[in-house]
């Protein structure tokens, strides 16, 4: 509902259609009555398009209504108007007529005419299971802001975002989509949502009804729909009521309103029609007693309730109160106006609702509208979209046909489309801080981990983003050194990709220093109130406008920075005031300090993630992409990763991320000679989807389990769009991240049929205590996932419980630990493999106050007078106890650094049966600072950490550690014959190996 001035102009008409799903909301009598009325009043307009799309038929009539029918010629959803214009005032004009201009074999030209005589000619090309829709000729007013190229109603199924298609629960049902087919077109889904209430025993329907002008029920304005408000009551008294309403698109100001006016068609049954305005919990209620038949203009100047604040009106609701017992009622509403009085005492009106908006949420239906639109700010035309209708198994072919017909970018991998290519499902090693001299060792890491791809971090291989020159520090012979490294990986069967920040120019790049390019994203701007000399000293910059509008105090990494541009000089300010910018460092980034005159422009030089952004509205990005391509086209690469794709332009332009994201990716792709690369990005858009076949959950660090769970809510969202998941990047920098954490992440690759990306540098890998075991584990999981041995039923066990998804506090996540399902891959003596469920409690600090480590560690161990540390362990099912100990480098002082953790005395006491004999044993830990001891219940274990290059196997003679369900106290005490007085910074974990086994066929 869009308030607008009362006039004779109107939007295009809407035709009465009662969806089958809505008919259950009203009584049989009401249904029959309304159906008879519809048949009596309305004749079907002639069809101008009737196309068989294989499993469905597309119909378009001369009034511009479009509808899909299934293979049995039954409507899939109600009809809707196929085309629309939206003006910068917010007014929507729907097509009033559609004319067939030309007919070709599998091609037609449709002229869509709008109420103001604007028109758009569309070329429609029929494909197998799809229709390509392209603008051909456009003649519209200059104030048109949006063009809706195509609209169609579909069932209320979930939507696959990027390709904008339905995902029915029935795996055999048709998938229907309206996709983008050009960079400037955004596909959308509109769900109708209104407020509604039915008292038990009452039902209602609120539907648009268009009546020919010669009929008595017609609107005052020819061919404009009216609202048909029909209801029924089964109650034995007149206490029945129903309600339908919706919010205005934005809060409106009705200050000075003296009355309401409504044109209503009554049925004479004495129901009370209430029209209610409300906002901020305050109301105006006006009642109309329907004691009349036919049309009546009702003046409502004596509201029954009037607490409304008229400067903040948010919604308009319609009620039937005091409905007659066991009776059907029905009235029509043509419009609702607010009435005002000018200074001369003359009345004038402002229309609140005329029911001409076919997208109004009032028309609640068991359907939704898929549409695609172009925007004047990104060029209304040329523009293209596509309707696809296909069974699930045929949808990929339908999409491929659209890509070919629309000449969309569609990389193939090894000649295969998207998910059909094996390379798309292979994991990769992400190498950071990488240089040519580390190539051989990195190659060995890649081979051991079973990786068939490696990705080189931007900043390792390039000197700066912007010009993309090879980093001479890491690759002394420039591009030849980089090519040598890539070719060496290739000779060993490993593809190589380049990671880079596409929407980025680094501070050391020639585009910034010594003279900044004019085509960067800038923010708030003002002018100098006073001139500046060419002094290099720190200075306060006085501005003519409020200097406090410049950002300050933001997160240094996430924030937009505190840098301004004045002429060709950059300055970094430390604080802001109304008078200007304070403590400004001159000549920032090596720019030249210069004199600046009063009135010189002062622009915020916007930053993102520490770099600066090219303005994607200019040709700057094309120039930068050309720089990148000049390098990339000389290298035998097979993969690109566009990082930083999610933050583009300024905040007021983020609503257009869909466009700028596509603009960014297309600029680089167009310059590449090799179009068939595996492309990933940190974010995607409907057009970029054509390029990007795999998406990551990137940057897994600290508590890897929590990180994985937090992002798991989006793991399945891309699958229905044929976008494949990469579980990554999971870092190997932090020695506190233990193998079970990585195994949890690798388990997710089985659950979601996803690749895994493992991020490390050669130096970090050499120092990581578990690197050998991690690489071996990654290879085993990769081989198993790609082997085809795992059934869907097995893989389902590795999906993350939905309750674990999303950002949570440490306390919330700890409370949800019982929902976490972790497994350990075991190899039996006969070579068979199986998964065993293992419950990993939190680690407990003993001997120090080591910090929480993002929730991985609980500082709840209690020390008694004898130096024994105790904590509670809850055992939910029969399980055997493992022991893990870590001699933590953190909190170690000079005294403890030289010591060895020699022995640990462990006691396990049941709290449920305190009289039971405790289990006691002593471990010869022999751990140096930083080392780990990991023991399974059978006493088999390993020591990890420097100076050990590989894990050291060990065997302990342990008592039986099988525990029944219940609560236990675990106690640990240091035993050191040389010095028992100094506690050591140690953390311990007691994993529970359950009897839940998943055999692998």
- What is the spatial distance between Cα 83 and Cα 97, in angstroms, rounded to a whole number? 10
C-alpha span between 130 and 387 (Å, rounded): 5
Which tokens is 536 given?
């290099």
Alpha helices in 413-554 (DSSP H): 439-448, 479-491
What is the structure's pLDDT at 9? 32
Choose among 644, 670, 646, 640: nearest CA to 658: 646
- Structure-derived torsion over alpha carbons of residues 727, 729, 730, 733, reported in degrees to the nearest 10: 170
d(CA 408, CA 183) in angstroms, rounded, equals: 9
| Backbone dihedral angles phi then psi of residue 377, each to the nearest 5 degrees | -70, -15
- Tell me the C-alpha distance between 71 and 335, whole Å: 40
Measure the N-to-C terminal CA separation of the chain; round to a whole number of Å: 60
How confident is the model at residue 851, as a pLDDT? 58
Identify the burial level of 255 via C-beta atoms within 10 angstroms of its C-beta, where 0-12 means exposed, 13-18 middle and 19 or more buried.
Answer: exposed
Mean pLDDT by 10 residues, the chain (1001 residues): 34 35 37 38 73 95 94 92 92 90 88 95 96 97 96 95 95 96 97 86 92 91 92 95 90 95 97 95 96 97 96 95 94 97 94 86 84 97 98 96 96 91 95 97 98 97 98 97 98 98 96 98 97 96 96 93 98 97 98 97 96 97 98 98 94 93 98 96 96 86 92 91 94 92 97 96 96 97 96 97 94 93 95 96 81 73 88 96 91 74 93 93 92 94 94 92 96 77 83 97 93
The span from the CA of 320 to the CA of 271, in Å, is 7
Say how many C-beta atoms besides its own lie within 10 A of residue 181's C-beta.
26
Give the DSSP per-residue string, 590-646: GPPP--B-TT-EEEEE-EETTEE-B-TTSSHHHHHHHHHHHHHTTS---EEEEETTT
Determine the pLDDT at residue 487.
Answer: 98
Strand pairing class (240-252; 257-267): unpaired
Closest CA to 748 of 728, 727, 763: 727
Residue with tokens 């622009």: 603
601, 604, 610, 615 alpha-carbon torsion, rounded to 10° = -80
* Per-residue pLDDT, 550: 97
Tell me the Ramachandran region of residue 459: left when phi exceeds 0, alpha when psi lies from -120 to 50, beta otherwise.
Answer: left
CA distance 208 to 190: 17
b/e sequence 206-228, b meaning 16+ C-beta within 10 Å: bbbbbbeeeeebbbebebbbbbb
Contact 95, 83 (CB under 8 A): yes
User: Could you tell me which of 746, 747, 733, 728 has the C-alpha nearest to residue 702?
Assistant: 733
User: Please, is 349 exposed, middle or buried when counting C-beta atoms within 10 Å of its C-beta (0-12, 13-18, 19+)?
Assistant: middle
How far is Cα 627 from Cα 748, in angstroms, rounded to an integer? Answer: 38
pLDDT at 698: 73
- Cis amide bond preceding 38, omega within 30: no
Q: Which two tokens stand for residue 544?
A: 């003519």
Cα separation, 868 vs 577, in Å, equals 58
Give the count of beta carbons closer than 10 Å to the beta carbon of residue 176.
24
**For position 980, what pLDDT does the model report?**
55
Determine contact, residues 479/490, Cβ cutoff 8 Å.
no
DSSP letter for 655, please: G
Per DSSP bridges, beta strands 883-887 and 569-572 are: unpaired
Q: In the numeric block, which tokens belong to residue 410?
A: 């569609």
Question: What are the C-alpha distances in Å from 459 to residues 292, 435, 500?
Answer: 79, 11, 8
What is the rounded CA–CA span in Å between residue 278 and residue 252? 11
Integer-rounded Cα radius of gyration of the chain: 35
SS3 state at 123: strand
Sequence-separated (6 or more) residues with CB below 8 Å from residue 260: 275, 277, 284, 286, 300, 301, 336, 337, 338, 339, 352
Own/partner contacts of 166-171, CB < 8 Å, gap of 24 or more, are 166/370, 167/720, 171/392
The DSSP string of 344-369 is TS-EEEEEEE-S--TT-TTS--SEEE
Spell out the residues 6+ positions from residue 152 whose beta carbon is closer than 8 angstroms to its own: 66, 67, 68, 77, 80, 82, 176, 178, 369, 370, 371, 387
For 311, the token pair is 């400067």
How far, in Å, CA of 444 to CA of 641, rounded?
Answer: 23
């Amino acid at each position: 509902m869009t308030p607008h001035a009362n006039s004779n102009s109107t939007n295009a008409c809407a035709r009465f259609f009662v969806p089958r799903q809505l008919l259950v909301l009203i009584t049989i009598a009401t249904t029959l009555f309304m159906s008879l009325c519809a048949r009596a009043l309305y004749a079907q307009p002639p069809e101008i398009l009737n196309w068989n799309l294989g499993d469905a038929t597309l119909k378009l009539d001369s009034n511009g209504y479009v509808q899909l029918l299934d293979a049995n010629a039954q409507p899939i959803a109600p009809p809707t108007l196929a085309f629309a214009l939206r003006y910068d005032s917010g007014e929507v004009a729907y097509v009033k007529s559609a004319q067939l201009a030309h007919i070709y074999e599998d091609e037609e030209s449709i002229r869509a005419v709008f109420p103001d005589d604007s028109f758009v000619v569309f070329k429609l090309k029929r494909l197998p299971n799809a229709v390509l829709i392209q603008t051909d000729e456009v003649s519209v007013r200059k104030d048109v802001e949006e063009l809706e190229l195509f609209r169609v109603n579909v069932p209320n199924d979930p939507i696959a975002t990027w390709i904008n298609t339905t995902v029915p629960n029935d795996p055999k049902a048709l998938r229907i989509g309206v996709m983008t087919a050009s960079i400037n077109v955004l596909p959308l889904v509109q769900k109708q949502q209104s407020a509604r209430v039915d008292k038990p025993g009452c039902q209602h329907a609120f539907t648009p009804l268009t009546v020919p002008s010669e009929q008595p029920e017609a609107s005052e304005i020819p061919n404009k729909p009216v609202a048909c408000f029909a209801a029924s009551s089964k109650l034995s008294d007149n206490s029945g009521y129903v309600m339908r309403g919706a919010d205005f698109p934005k809060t409106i100001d009705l200050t000075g309103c003296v009355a309401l006016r409504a044109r209503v068609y009554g049925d004479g049954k004495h129901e009370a029609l209430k029209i209610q305005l409300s906002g901020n919990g305050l109301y105006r209620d006006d009642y109309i007693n329907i004691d009349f038949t036919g049309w009546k203009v009702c003046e409502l100047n004596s509201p029954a309730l009037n607490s409304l604040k008229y400067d903040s009106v948010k919604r308009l609701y319609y009620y039937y109160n005091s409905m007659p017992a066991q009776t059907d009622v029905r009235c029509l509403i043509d419009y609702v106006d607010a009435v005002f009085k000018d200074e001369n005492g003359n009345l004038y009106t402002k229309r609140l609702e005329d029911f001409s908006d076919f997208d109004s949420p009032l028309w609640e239906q068991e359907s939704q509208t898929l549409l695609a639109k172009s925007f004047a700010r990104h060029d209304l035309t040329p523009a293209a979209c596509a309707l696809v209708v296909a069974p699930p198994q045929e949808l990929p072919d339908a999409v491929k046909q659209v890509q070919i017909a629309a000449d969309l970018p569609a990389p193939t991998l090894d000649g295969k489309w998207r998910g059909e290519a094996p390379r798309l499902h292979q994991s990769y090693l992400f190498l950071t801080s990488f240089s040519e001299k580390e190539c051989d060792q990195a190659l060995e890491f890649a081979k051991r981990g079973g990786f068939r791809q490696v990705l080189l971090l931007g900043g390792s291989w390039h000197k700066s983003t912007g010009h993309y020159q090879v980093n001479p520090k890491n690759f002394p012979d420039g591009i030849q050194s980089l090519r040598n490294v890539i070719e060496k990986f290739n000779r060993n069967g490993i593809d190589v990709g380049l990671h880079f920040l596409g929407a980025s120019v680094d501070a050391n790049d020639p585009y910034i220093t010594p003279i900044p390019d004019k085509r960067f994203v800038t923010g708030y701007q003002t002018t100098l109130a006073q001139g500046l000399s060419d002094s290099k000293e720190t200075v306060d910059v006085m501005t003519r406008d409020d200097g406090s509008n410049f950002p300050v105090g933001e997160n240094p990494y996430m924030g937009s920075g505190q840098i301004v541009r004045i002429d060709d000089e950059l300055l970094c300010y430390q604080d802001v005031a109304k008078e200007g910018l304070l403590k400004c460092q001159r000549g920032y980034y090596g720019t030249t300090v210069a004199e600046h005159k009063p009135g010189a422009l002062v622009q915020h030089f916007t930053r993102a993630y520490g770099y600066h952004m090219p303005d994607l509205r200019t040709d700057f990005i094309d120039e930068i992409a050309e720089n990148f391509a000049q390098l990339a086209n000389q290298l035998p690469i097979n993969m690109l990763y566009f990082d930083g794709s999610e933050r583009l332009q300024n905040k007021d332009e983020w609503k257009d991320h869909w466009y700028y994201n596509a603009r960014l990716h297309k600029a680089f792709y167009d310059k590449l000679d090799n179009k068939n690369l595996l492309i990933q990005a940190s974010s995607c858009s409907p057009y970029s989807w054509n390029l990007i076949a795999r998406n990551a959950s990137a940057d897994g660090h600290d508590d890897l389990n929590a990180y994985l769970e937090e992002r798991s809510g989006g793991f399945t969202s891309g699958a229905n769009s044929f976008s494949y998941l990469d579980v990554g990047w999971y870092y190997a920098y932090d020695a506190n991240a233990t193998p079970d954490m990585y195994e949890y992440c690798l388990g997710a690759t089985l659950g979601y049929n996803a690749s895994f990306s493992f991020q490390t540098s050669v130096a970090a890998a050499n120092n990581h205590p578990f690197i050998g075991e991690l690489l071996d584990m990654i290879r085993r999981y990769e081989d198993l996932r790609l082997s085809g041995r795992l059934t869907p039923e097995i893989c389902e066990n590795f999906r993350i419980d939905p309750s674990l998804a999303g950002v949570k506090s440490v306390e919330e996540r700890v409370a949800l630990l019982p929902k976490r399902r972790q497994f350990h891959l075991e190899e039996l003596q006969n070579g068979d493999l199986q998964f065993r469920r293992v419950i990993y409690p939190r680690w407990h600090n003993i001997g120090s106050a080591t910090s929480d480590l993002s929730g991985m560690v609980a500082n709840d161990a209690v020390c008694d007078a004898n130096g024994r540390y105790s904590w509670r362990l809850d055992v939910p099912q029969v399980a055997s106890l493992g022991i893990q100990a870590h001699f933590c480098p953190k909190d170690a002082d000079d005294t403890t650094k030289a010591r060895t953790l020699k022995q640990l005395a462990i006691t396990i006491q049941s709290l449920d049966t305190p009289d039971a004999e405790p289990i006691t044993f002593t471990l010869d830990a022999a751990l140096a600072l930083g080392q780990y001891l990991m023991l399974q219940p059978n006493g088999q274990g390993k020591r990890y950490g420097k100076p050990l290059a590989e894990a050291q196997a060990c065997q302990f003679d342990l008592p039986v550690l099988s525990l029944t369900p219940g609560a236990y106290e675990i106690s640990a005490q240091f035993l050191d014959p040389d010095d028992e007085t100094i506690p050591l910074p140690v953390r311990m974990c007691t994993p529970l190996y359950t009897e839940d086994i998943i055999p692998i066929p």
